[in-house]
Chain A
Amino acid sequence: MFRIPDYVVSQRTRRAVLSRIARWMAGLGFAMLGLVAGLWSAASARFMVPNVATEPTRRFKAGTPGRYPPGHVEQRYKEEHGVWIVHEKYRGRWQLFALSTACTHLGCITLWQESDRRFKCPCHGSGFYPNGVNFEGPAPRPLPRYAIRLADDGHIEVDRSRTFHQERGQWDDPASYIPG
């Protein structure tokens, strides 16, 4: 003969139903607690990301192009702006462009060595050609260029808020150089 199993019977008792509701309520409560804790953590993490950074102006004027004869590496903007202004051949054409002074390996500031005509990183010895392309040491990428243009007054203007990466093919962008 067919018998109803015990556990089905017990589920139908009043106490079982109540305890089931209680378990659901507890589950819901813990879920809410988890949600609040998660939101709180996310909000705290977001709190740690500042919305405003106090940084120096990212745009500066660098004189007229006549100041930079071919093959010249200008060092005077290194100190204040972290920029080399270079007049050098890239893919067979003379260009005037602004390179970041920070090594692409770990951000140490490179040194210009006139005798060997290369940028050298003091941290791990990475070397870059004057056109910014890496050729020795652990640096994985060329130095990035900053946006450069001839302003209406005939002066060069460098804008550090835009970067151009050779490995992404961005050095073909006319905003990354002034034809020399």
Chain B
Amino acid sequence: MPLWDRIRRSQVWKSIFRHPPPVDRPNRVKVVLTNLILHLHPVAMPKHGLRLRFTWCMGGITFFLFLVEVVTGVLLMFYYRPTIQWAYHDMLALRDVVSYGILREVHRWGAHAMVITAMLHMLRVFLTGSYKPPREFNWVIGVLLLALTLLLSFTGYLLPWDQLSMWAVTVGSNMVGAAPLVGHEGPASWVTDQSDLRYVLLGARSVGEEALLRFYVLHCVALPLLAAFLMALHFWRIRKDGGISGPL
């Protein structure tokens, strides 16, 4: 018996997958039903959903890029300290000192790509009218996920603590400071520069150590958790709303 078959008939393999290999119809159904990750999918789907010219594969790629960002991000966290003293230094170390020092590149370019694919996914869903009933609420979740993608990218932008990041975030946070009502420089403002939304965001009046820590926590913990929750909801709703959209 070939080695591959012996592995697939071993007790260990069977205990993990619990059914014969998916080479015939019953087992191809089973493999989707019994596997946690594959279970995101339905068992069967209309054929037009397979055509790349219909889906552009953008939603799936966006999710994959999120996973790439999680993995590379966790690895980067092993070397990065979010303090003014060390942040920039650790960036240099990540480039010059560690082995296989392209993780920061993968993380950054993956983030750029994810913003693009999320936007294009939204464009596709709009152009095919897939937001229409019964999928209205899933579109809402998708819009929130797009906003979260931008926020994740923006909070990560500060972490290298170089001129590019510091001033991009200064400009961005001052826009928040100009918000009506809740910004101290906005119309109808009823707050000061020590109680407005920008102060809450930065933890200070200007971009400094407090802001670096806040953005770090938002980038590495708060926003990814929220995004993961909304993604779970998004995928679950695709199934519950009747699978991939198609002509009625």
A and B: direct contact (Cβ < 8 Å)? Answer: yes
Nearest chain B CB to A12's CB is how many angstroms away?
A: 43
Which residues from A are CB-within-8-Å of B171?
106-108, 123
Nearest chain A CB to B226's CB is how many angstroms away?
A: 15
Number of residues of chain B lying within 8 A (CB) of chain A: 18
**A127-167 near B? 1/0 per residue, CB < 8 Å:** 00000000000000000000000000000000000000000
Nearest neighbor of A103 in chain B, beta-carbon distance: B174
- Grouping DSSP codes into helix (H, G, I), strand (E, B) and loop, the B interface class, with mixed when no group exceeds half, is helix
Are B170 and A49 neighbours in the complex by a CB distance under 8 Å? no
Are A55 and B170 neighbours in the complex by a CB distance under 8 Å? no
Could you tell me which residues of chain B, from 192 to 216, have a CB within 8 Å of some CB in chain A?
194-195, 199-200, 203-206, 209-210
Which residues from B are CB-within-8-Å of A108?
167, 170-171
Known: A107-B174, A123-B171. A49 touches B200 (CB 8 A): yes
- Grouping DSSP codes into helix (H, G, I), strand (E, B) and loop, the A interface class, with mixed when no group exceeds half, is loop
A48 to B177, CA, bound (A): 16
**A100-117 near B? 1/0 per residue, CB < 8 Å:** 000010111000000000
What total count of A-B pairs have CB within 8 Å? 36
Nearest chain B CB to A46's CB is how many angstroms away?
A: 10
Which residues from A are CB-within-8-Å of B225?
none
- Give the A-binding residues of B (Cβ under 8 A): 167, 170-171, 174-175, 177-178, 185, 194-195, 199-200, 203-206, 209-210
Kindly identify which residue among A53, A107, A123 contacts B194, using a CB–CB cutoff of 8 Å: A53
How many residues of A sit at the interface, in one of the four size bands?
10 to 19
